[in-house]
Every structure is written in structure tokens, then in C-alpha cells.
Structure 1
């Protein structure tokens, strides 16, 4: 494991994370957990929770977190640069091309084809995280309290349109309360 390997890993993630930060989660999971074994799935789930709670894009926050986990501050800088460099280059080039060809039928068709694939990528990552949250890292237990928190959080964000940061904060407090006062791991 080298800083250069970390840079290349997040350069690849940054280059193929179409659809925003959440779409990057399956790619980050594949690289960090499955291929390189830099983190366990449980650690990765914690990474996502922390990256989601902190300001900034989740993919960049995740890169920073993984970099710190592996190499400290140097790793954070290298992983973050790897993650954002493709975006800087792609956005500059695509911004120019989009402004020039935005009404072209082929471009409209490509964008229409990418949208459902991005939704599938986000859903795939969400299912993996949901399974860990509800059934544990070994998928061998069932946590009704995690389901209750999930359903309440989903209701308040999707139906009531409560600020996601507030929902995350309250979910963390409730989970901590279950753990501290009832001895229940969430």
C-alpha cells in the first residue's frame, strides 16, 4: 500500500462517479472494502455516516476519511486530490461542450440513458448499507430499533421534508439513547 496507489484508487473513483457523491458509494465500497481490504464493511458504514454528517460532498469526505485512516494527513490530501481532479477536468471540458451542444438530440439521449443507471447505483449502495444497519456486519442478527429509526428518518425526510442534518442528528441521539439507557446496540 502506497500513497500513489491510494491516489490512483480515488482518481478512478472520481473519474467514474457519475451522478454525484451517493453514486460514488458503490465504487468506494468496491475499492476500499472488497478489492483492497483497507476497511471492513462495518468501518465503511461508519465512514458513510461520518461523511454524510460533515459538510461537503460525501465522496470527497469519504476520500479524506479513508486517506486519514491509512496514512494520516498526507493520505487525506492525496486521496482527496485523486477524488476531485477528474471532476475539475471533466466539468471544465463538459461545461464548454454542453454550452455548445446542449440542444443536440444525441446529448439529450445520452443524459436520458444515464439517469436510470445512476439511480440503480445509488439504490445498490443504499441496500448494502441498510442490510448492515438492520442485520449487522455478519448479516446474522435483526435490529428492530434500527428499522424504527430508519422508517422514522425516511418519513421525516421524504414526507415531512425535514432537514436531513436535523434527522441525522436526532437519529444519532436516539441511537445513543437506545445504547446508553437500554443497553441496546444500534
Structure 2
């Protein structure tokens, strides 16, 4: 979802890339699907409450209609060999997209002025604070066998507050 949102919203000139990444951080830390949270935040940013309502309905309604159609077709659709093979093909694509977005977010956190499309690395705004937080979180996650996403978010938030208050 994030590359699609970035292409449409930033590419369309609705918000800046920095604001998008701020919204991603907020949307990931609030309950609910990221697409709906992002639509609500961006709609509010552009046109207030009515913009939030319109954007949220615009994102949720197509999925609702598709799920409703799948539910009415029932088990015939889900037990189809073609559908099962399509899901097998989607798994590696989804993993690749998740890794690409994760890498992009990490790099943008450390090098905020990077332009992937032009492969321009501007080291003048190197953000060592985010690199410190990212490193400590990675060490914590790999040192423990089981770390829940909630623990990672809380540790990241506490580290972020500590690092940005101290430095």
C-alpha cells in the first residue's frame, strides 16, 4: 500500500514526502488498517472533516464491496484451484513489497534528502539520531527470541524521546 499511496499522494502534489512519512508513523501506531488511517489523516489535512470522511469512504468502500461479493460466492471461490495458485504466487510478491518499503523507510529515516528516483545521496542532512534508535532496536530484537510488535513500538518511542531530548 505504501508505494501506491506515495505515488498517488506525493506524486499528485497533495502532501510532501516528509509529511507522508510522518503520517505513516502515526497511521502505523494507531489502531486500524493503515490505508484507512492514512486516508483519514490526508483527507483531514486537505479538507478537514468532510475530506476525512470522503477519503475514508473512498478507501473502504471498494474493499467492502469485494469482500461482500466473495462472501456471497462462498466456498466455490475460495476452494478454486486458480485462486489457491494465485495466492501462492502473491506470497513472495507481498514479502518483497514489505521488505522494499521497510528498507525505504529506514534509509529515509537516516538520509532524509535521498532521492531514490535519481539515486542522489545527500549526506549533509545525515540523521545519526535515527540510526542510533534503529541500531538499538535491531540489537534488542535480535537479542530476544520473542519480541512482540507492541514491544518494538514502545521501545522505539521511548528511545526516540530519549535520543531527541538528549541530543
TM above 0.5, yes or no, is yes
Q: Deviations over 1:95-128 (max 9, x none)?
A: 3335123333212111111222222222222222
- 3-state DSSP of counterpart to 1:72: helix
Counterpart mapping for 1:159-170 below 5 A:
160-170=145-155
Q: Could you say what secondary structure the match of 1:137 adopts?
A: coil
5 Å matches for 1:53-72?
53-72=29-48
Give me the TM-score of the superposition, normalised by structure 2. 0.82
Structure 1: gaps of 5 or more residues? 1-23
Q: Distance in 1 between matches of 2:34 and 2:138?
A: 19
Q: Determine the structure 2 residue equivalent to 1:26.
A: 3
- 5 Å-filtered alignment, 1:166-185, equals 166-182=151-167
Matches within 5 A, 1:21-170: 24-34=1-11, 36-138=12-114, 139-141=121-123, 142-154=126-138, 156=140, 160-170=145-155
Quick one: structure 1 residues 65 and 157, their matched pair in 2 at CA, closer, same or farther if it must change by over 3 Å?
farther
SS of the residue 1:161 aligns to? coil
Alpha-carbon distance, 1:52 to partner: 0.7
Q: CA RMSD in A?
A: 2.1
TM-score, length basis structure 1: 0.75
Structure with the larger RCO, 1 or 2 (CA within 8 Å, 6+ apart) = 1
